[in-house]
Chains A and B, each alone.
Chain A
């Protein structure tokens, strides 16, 4: 199942909707790396709230996506890792080294806004919309 990717200002938001096969994860990686260039994005939020399992392959792919997106000049934040999933990942021995995480979409967007702002304080990129979007999503739940 394909992961929809939304563009909101300088940020891409990829929301995983359902369990992902390895092929889905490969496609997500390729799509995100491509779109970061197409839209000249500065940040990516990868929302995994809907994932009920993150095994070693999926975790490695999230790390790869995050690091490769950084090579393309953008920052990734993984949001929405569920309590049981977090616990299982630790038990399994998985660490998301060098990967930024946040509790949910709202926190992730705030984190990206701060990162983008501090990387280029004079940037004219409008970040105001990011927080507003998080609020909309929040109400939607």
Chain B
């Protein structure tokens, strides 16, 4: 099996083109890791959603892509972090259809469904940190 870099890749998110670049890089990494084609699309879509949230709510932030290994399993971990306004009500933010912008309110709950693991931390006035992982099947 080929050696896979575990060095995290940091992708700044500050405009629309960055969203496209982050999700394309994520897909490439997923394929290199051995994910099937459909899974690559699911991962790219989840990256697009969390990157869009950064742009929409915090204007800037970063997406960190990292290959992870645990108990013989390989996965791709995605961290989306910003120093934006934070989310006052996480429970609501994870509910389908809830949005404080003009979006569809599917970004966070949808990304959670697209990935295997999903965690979110947020502090009002400090920022938001989403960590999600998908494992190669």
Do A and B make up one complex? yes
**Contact bitstring A82-95, B, C-beta under 8 A = 1, else 0:** 11110111011110
**Contact bitstring A40-58, B, C-beta under 8 A = 1, else 0:** 0000000000001111110
Which DSSP category, helix, strand, loop or mixed, fits chain B's interface? helix
Interface residues of A in 69-84 (CB under 8 A from B): 82-84
Segment among A19-27, A115-123, A124-132 that sits at the interface with chain B: A19-27
Docked CA distance A52–B39 (Å)? 12
Report A62 CB to chain B, min CB distance, Å: 12
The answer to whether B38 and A56 touch across the interface, beta carbons within 8 angstroms, is no
A67 at the interface (CB under 8 A from B): no
Docked CA distance A135–B45 (Å)? 32
Interface residues of B (CB under 8 A from A): 16-17, 19-20, 23-24, 27, 37-42, 44-45, 48-49, 52, 96, 103-104, 106-107, 109-111, 113-114
With A56-B110, A57-B52, A83-B38: A88-B20 Cβ-Cβ less than 8 Å: no
Within 8 Å CB of B37, what residues of A?
A: 84
Interface residues of A (CB under 8 A from B): 19, 21-23, 52-57, 60, 82-85, 87-89, 91-94
The answer to whether A54 and B45 touch across the interface, beta carbons within 8 angstroms, is yes
With A84-B42, A87-B38: A56-B16 Cβ-Cβ less than 8 Å: no
The answer to whether B23 and A91 touch across the interface, beta carbons within 8 angstroms, is no
The answer to whether A92 and B103 touch across the interface, beta carbons within 8 angstroms, is no
Chain A residue at smallest Cβ distance from B48: A55
The answer to whether A53 and B16 touch across the interface, beta carbons within 8 angstroms, is no
The answer to whether B113 and A53 touch across the interface, beta carbons within 8 angstroms, is no
Docked CA distance A60–B38 (Å)? 21
Docked CA distance A103–B16 (Å)? 29
Docked CA distance A88–B42 (Å)? 5
The answer to whether B110 and A87 touch across the interface, beta carbons within 8 angstroms, is no
Within 8 Å CB of B39, what residues of A?
A: 84
Docked CA distance A88–B1 (Å)? 29
The answer to whether A91 and B104 touch across the interface, beta carbons within 8 angstroms, is no
Chain B residue at smallest Cβ distance from A59: B104
Contacting residue for B41 out of A21, A52, A57, A94, CB 8 A: A52
Within 8 Å CB of A89, what residues of B?
A: 45
With A87-B41, A91-B42, A91-B114: A52-B103 Cβ-Cβ less than 8 Å: no
Contacting residue for B104 out of A52, A53, A60, CB 8 A: A60
Chain B residue at smallest Cβ distance from A94: B106
